[in-house]
Structure 1
């Protein structure tokens, strides 16, 4: 099972429609639609938002048995568009997601082969420390993907957040960054050089997504750039989550669910894996609502 760890929340979209969302939630739903055994590990609420999240998971066939439940409210994200790019304002303080502690997390069953981490769950405590501690505990036993998915409006302490990401990047097998993530982390300059530089910190695979320009992948021996699949753009919310789902599903299909396999993929296998990830991400933007998009 691929376990998606982090945020599950209610998105309030620019048209006023409320939909279940969050990076971990979206990725888990799409993994299930791609035929993978998928699970969610997030703090969920007993409130109406939490009930909607649970229903979406159940309907998609995503396991959420590991999710702690509480009476705290579900987190919410208010989404606006600036020149077609989503911007977020989070209502997360005191939420079921943010209040999650490491002691709330159950032991992971042996069926969990991989962890996907990132999103706003890493922007403030106690949830940020909970998921960092989980990653440090599990990284030797399971493949890990880290997607910082940086939302500056959600960050409580920028230096603490940067320090946490440095530690988690060193633990990760795979790091996926958008061009916006990379710019926020590293500042201006050659994006490919900066992305390639992350390999020196520990990961075996670094993926840089470039929106309509496709994506670039780096291992210690390979650079691979692929274009995006051309589609009519409808809704870019969740495109990065779709990429992560496609990437992890393709790695599973190619039998590359361990650290050594990720770092030593042949160029041909890397091409096939990245092609799937880009196709799933590109197709996802042609549909409204990240967790509703077909795979």
Structure 2
């Protein structure tokens, strides 16, 4: 364990059923927030996941998976089936999803106050649980920094205008926002990703991180933009790549003392060198993940090895 910084992730777990031509279905633990919590724990961070898990085989599989990395799992006691996502991979390893998800997270209390809260994906927009997520963030952000990844799933976003409103509400509550170019193309069609990021930046975040697949990543902050190239690697599949990017970025922000109530002001004064280092960690984390099957982010040793060749 690197330190005693408490990182809380609020969001869904999903059993990813991976379907390959001519092969039997494979079930993998997934769900964007769960993947971020798992990635943080793999990097030695103290991570708690507030989520829902059903009393079924998939729920037990996911709980055991998270616990094996050191994630502390907290649930609201709901008995709904564990959400499912069927993942179909094309010849290039790109993932397409279909979902069976409900999200009814009830308001709850925490045993200890976190220093940082991460939210995202379905959990931040799907009612009735999204209301509990936002209420939790609003209650905690006075004493914790906040990060957000919309991780857009169009089939689950509902009405487009309402989805955009919900996403931008989360953006305004956050200190750090990460989004993919695909997320922004769906949310704001016809608008350049950098323009969306700059507009979001004006609503509250200290920095907006944009992932661009093989074209690397971009950070938008008040002082301008910082870019880094993608790390060259052979892609097996892209499942969990964005989540590994997020956990790598949060890990690096913590290394620089930029998370927690004392980190918020420092986030507002980010310099280009620090942002570049955060992006390097994030891109390297994603590169390790895409080089192997499933949402399988690096541990600390693997991340350092990837950074050494970046």
Report TM bin, short chain. Answer: over 0.9
The TM-score with structure 2 as length reference comes to 0.88
Identify the match of residue 138 of structure 2 among 128, 133, 136: 136
Q: Mark the runs of 5 or more structure 1 residues left unpaired by the alignment.
A: none
Q: How does 1:1-295 map to 2 (within 5 A)?
A: 1-15=6-20, 16-64=25-73, 66-81=74-89, 84-93=93-102, 98-102=103-107, 105-107=108-110, 109-110=112-113, 112-257=114-259, 258-291=263-296, 295=302
Give 1:187 deviation, angstroms: 1.1
Give 1:108 deviation, angstroms: 5.5
Task: Please say which of residues 268-277 and 230-239 is displaced more in the overlay.
Answer: 268-277
SS of the counterpart of 2:15? strand
The TM-score with structure 1 as length reference comes to 0.92
Task: Please say which of residues 129-138 and 186-195 is displaced more in the overlay.
Answer: 186-195
Give 1:178 deviation, angstroms: 0.1
Any runs of at least 4 consecutive aligned residues in structure 1 with deviations exceeding 6 A, and if so which?
A: none
User: Retained in 1: the 8 A contact 2:175–2:205?
Assistant: yes
User: Retained in 2: the 8 A contact 1:25–1:291?
Assistant: no
Give 1:158 deviation, angstroms: 3.0
User: Retained in 2: the 8 A contact 1:89–1:154?
Assistant: no
User: Retained in 2: the 8 A contact 1:119–1:148?
Assistant: yes
Give 1:150 deviation, angstroms: 0.3
Give 1:155 deviation, angstroms: 1.9
Task: Please say which of residues 224-233 and 183-192 is displaced more in the overlay.
Answer: 183-192
Give 1:140 deviation, angstroms: 2.0
User: Retained in 1: the 8 A contact 2:124–2:170?
Assistant: no
SS of the counterpart of 1:69? coil
Give 1:75 deviation, angstroms: 0.4
User: Retained in 1: the 8 A contact 2:76–2:106?
Assistant: no
Measured against aligned partners, the alpha-carbon deviations of 1:77-129 in whole angstroms (never above 9, x if no partner) come to 01123564322111014xxxx12122xx223613x111111111123211111
Measured against aligned partners, the alpha-carbon deviations of 1:235-279 in whole angstroms (never above 9, x if no partner) come to 101000000000000111111112222221221111111111111
Distance 1:108 1:88 in 2: 35
Distance 2:298 2:39 in 1: 8
> What is the number of residues matched between the two proteins?
287
SS of the counterpart of 2:146? strand
Q: Mark the runs of 5 or more structure 2 residues left unpaired by the alignment.
A: 1-5, 303-310
